[in-house]
Structure 1
């Protein structure tokens, strides 16, 4: 809510400035589209706003071109409007345009087709308004009131990491208690958690855009890029953990033996994720999180040296894959992470 409150402030400020620029500086009598374009740029999404500004302007250009060309050929009217909008949107789609580009192309084509007879000079003010709105929107979100990139990432990451940790704890408890039903319910919950990952990707993308273009945030570039790489590995780890939970549930349904070290290892992963979140908030090196990850791998290796079934063995293999991704998310290189996991699995000191 804090993030979207800031976006609301940005949108309101951009709408006001776009109106002032279009109406008072450029002397456009009807500057309605300028604040509309500014709000579209800011409010459409947290991420990729610069690209959305370009899409907005391209969509308007496609709509104007389609409208002008077809009006000259077939005139105006109900069926003519339908054809003009159809061709404008399909033209934008053929150019692999996104929803925003197609929407703007279609909306502009409607305006050109329906209002041109009464207002023959509508196209140029519409294009100028869109340009003013888009540029003002970019100016507000990158210069006047940019988001704090680190605060945005940490706020969203906190929710995602907390969910990840709690789900690992729930999996460990299901294994320890022999509760196959709980493991099934947990797997369904994890499959429905993609929205959290999407929010995290969106927040990181927005932060990356801010540090690329906002002079006030340039000094945060390296930290944000490190978060970007870490989030990529965290996503992979989370998706592999779903396979882990599925195999844990299968082991329980098939009444396979579950050595105590296996649920203990999964619980250690939950603890590692919590420690990783805490280190991110404090801006510290996640040393303790790495130690917990490697301890989890050691426990998984001990579980394999006891009587364990097929699904349990696969679960341990997934534990090691998740461990590698978690170590990579803390900033370790691929070779170093693999070496540490391999030694821990063999019971060797790291």
Structure 2
């Protein structure tokens, strides 16, 4: 009887522990969600301010300067320009104006022929989309043409003597004002745009390499497996970095105040390819570290040190690229990682351990390329950092660059 009670009590304790774990996890996720949302607001505050200023100025120019009594399309066009993705605003403005022109042309013609009403609205929108697609318009042009047609039918009819071309002029004004706000009044810092996009990828990479180093030092395969799973998110972040690079180039081209950032931005853009290689090769490194631990292979202290210094090099790379500096500290730290990997190999490692050492070298070469070095120079420095007798030979072929 006592044994049965103990079993019931143990089961209850286990259930309570599971519930507490789930509640704690949900609470942590909730905090993370709020933090993410606050961070998203901060990151997009300038964009919201740009849109508000552009809408105000577009209305003022069309209404107060040019005397348009109903300048609806000017602020709409201005906000549409600002709402488009970074790196696509110039093209988006042209598409927006084309879409407005098509929507106005078709909408006005059909309103004159069939008048206003629900079925007329559906017919006008359908025809606007069909004509725009036939003319080869992009999704943005099609959407703008349809939205413009809706506004034409939904807005109160204007007197017949009123010319319709001011609506196209409004679109031109709105698009021009939107670009002017981006280029002249409130230009974003292109380097900050790119740095903000790169932060999740590089910070996650550095953090999980550090976790892997701790797992190697403490012989904890579970922690290394967790690092491997979290490292998979980095590849998702890299897509955001490419989008940010396009936006940064656009801003650096349009905004004279940001022309001084072109050189640093170009360096960041050239680094992105090799950062991506480093992410991939780090994934192989961590995967083999898990196998090393699970197979209970010998793990010299220098192996954990090599991975930890590689993580530090990634952090330094992010800091120096974001500040527009020559990434000398990152180069020095990554070569220390290579040297430590060489010592680990000399002290004796197993099959998977030798792959970890090789991937430290391969990832180090990627990081050096990301600092702006040519392939031959990067590989020469890596070889110099490791004595010839320490170079691993029992390893898989490194990923091609």
The match for 1:105 is 145
- The runs of at least 4 aligned residues of structure 1 exceeding 6 Å deviation read 68-77
**Kept in 2: contact 1:298–1:347 (CA 8 A):** no
SS at match of 1:332: coil
The match for 1:307 is 349
**Kept in 1: contact 2:200–2:234 (CA 8 A):** no
Mean Cα displacement is larger for which, 51-60 or 187-196?
A: 187-196
SS at match of 1:27: coil
Given the alignment of the two structures, is residue 197 of structure 1 paired with residue 197 of structure 2, yes or no?
Answer: no
The match for 1:18 is 58
- 1:309: how far off? 2.1
Return the alpha-carbon distance in structure 1 between the equivalents of residues 188 and 302 of structure 2: 44
Tell me the C-alpha RMSD between the 2 structures.
3.4
State TM-score, norm by structure 2.
0.73
Return the alpha-carbon distance in structure 2 between the equivalents of residues 348 and 63 of structure 1: 73
Which of 214, 219, 242 aligns to 2:255? It is: 214
Given the alignment of the two structures, is residue 163 of structure 1 paired with residue 204 of structure 2, yes or no?
Answer: yes
The match for 1:38 is 78
- 1:195: how far off? 5.3
Paired residues for 1:196-345 under 5 Å: 196-280=237-321, 283-305=324-346, 306-310=348-352, 312-345=353-386
Return the alpha-carbon distance in structure 2 between the equivalents of residues 176 and 91 of structure 1: 66
Q: Go from structure 1 to structure 2 and tell me whether the alpha carbon gap of 1:291 and 1:74 turns closer, same or farther (over 3 Å shift).
A: same
- 1:217: how far off? 2.1
Q: How many residues are paired up?
A: 346
Mean Cα displacement is larger for which, 131-140 or 225-234?
A: 225-234
Return the alpha-carbon distance in structure 2 between the equivalents of residues 91 and 175 of structure 1: 63
Return the alpha-carbon distance in structure 2 between the equivalents of residues 339 and 83 of structure 1: 68
Paired residues for 1:11-90 under 5 Å: 11-64=51-104, 67=107, 81-82=121-122, 84-86=124-126, 88-89=128-129
Unaligned segments of structure 1, at least 5 residues: none
Task: Provide, for residues 310-331 of structure 1, a one-character-per-residue CA deviation record: whole Å limited to 9, x for no partner.
Answer: 4x34433333332122111111
Return the alpha-carbon distance in structure 1 between the equivalents of residues 182 and 363 of structure 2: 37
Q: Kindly name which structure, 1 or 2, has the bigger radius of gyration based on alpha carbons.
A: 2
- 1:194: how far off? 4.5
Mean Cα displacement is larger for which, 189-198 or 130-139?
A: 189-198
